Amino acid sequence: MAAEPTTEPAAAAGTVKLGDLTVNRMGLGAMRLTGRGIWGEPDDRERAEQVLRRAIELGVNCIDVANSYGPEVAENLIAETLHPYPDELVIATKGGLTRPGPGEWRRDGRPEALREALEGSLRRLRLERIDVYQLHSVDTAVPLEDQVGALAEFQREGKIRHIGLSNVDTRQLAQARRIVDVVSVQNRYNLGDRHSEGVLNACERDDLAFLPWFPLAVGELARARGRLAEVAASRGATPAQVALAWLLRRSPAVLMIPGTASPEHLEENVAAAALELTDADFAELSRGAAASL
């Protein structure tokens, strides 16, 4: 049986800072609110809209999106469903990846391409300034200082409030921070994939938010057996909830952005904010290999 949502379940895990903004640590990722292959309109637009509205009702006040989700579909959907936005809602979007076709992603970190991406996001989201704008992925064909420098210019123009990075290593993070103030990093990280452990540690040390993408390993952890399933059964929760609770326990820097196209899965995910693991369960899950979870 899944853990049940409380009155304001998204607030149960506390808050995290994004510069001068404070958000609940259980947010929402909007990537799944598109068609298959993160391409085109969602199969069921009404349910996608329900996810967004229900997220706000549950206390979610941070939504992560990108111009490449759809492309453009997720940003349009957010604006069409939620605008005018609640005062406390923080929208974080990204630029730097283009979409030649379904399932295809190409980096484009040229300053002129980033400006075009930003202007498009502002228009679609119906905003004059984006709360957190993230470089979606470092383009190795363009000097990093040029990519980050472009974001700094957009910030000086008043079009970006805060700058975030995505898919970076510790060296790139340090290099970028010598140029601009960075408030967040979004990297792939979950119970079974901890390649970005060093980046997470750096974020915790320096008071940056860390947004783990694929927190459920594209659903693999939700279907897990072994110790993860045992812990879930003992707590009256689902394996997915335990995997999310593990991430929240792993570091106070973690800002969760699990994505879903299902209102039911949204409620299950958000309810994980209230699930507290014992020290023994956390330690055992931390030691476990992905294959044994």
Residues annotated catalytic, as ranges: 69
CA distance 181 to 179: 7
State the Cα–Cα distance between residues 159 and 6, nearest whole angstrom: 36
Phi-psi region of 159 (alpha: psi -120 to 50; beta: other; left: phi over 0): alpha
Sign, CA torsion 287/224/210/7:
negative
Which residues have C-beta within 8 Å of that of residue 51, sequence separation ≥ 6?
28, 33, 260, 261, 262, 263, 266
Give the Cα separation of 285 and 18 in Å (integer): 29
Paired sense of beta strands 21-24 and 90-95, if any: unpaired
Strand partners, 62: 90
CA distances (Å), origin 251, targets 103, 223, 231, 254: 31, 24, 20, 6
Neighbours of 289 (CB within 10 A): 8
- Find the largest Cα–Cα distance for the chain: 53
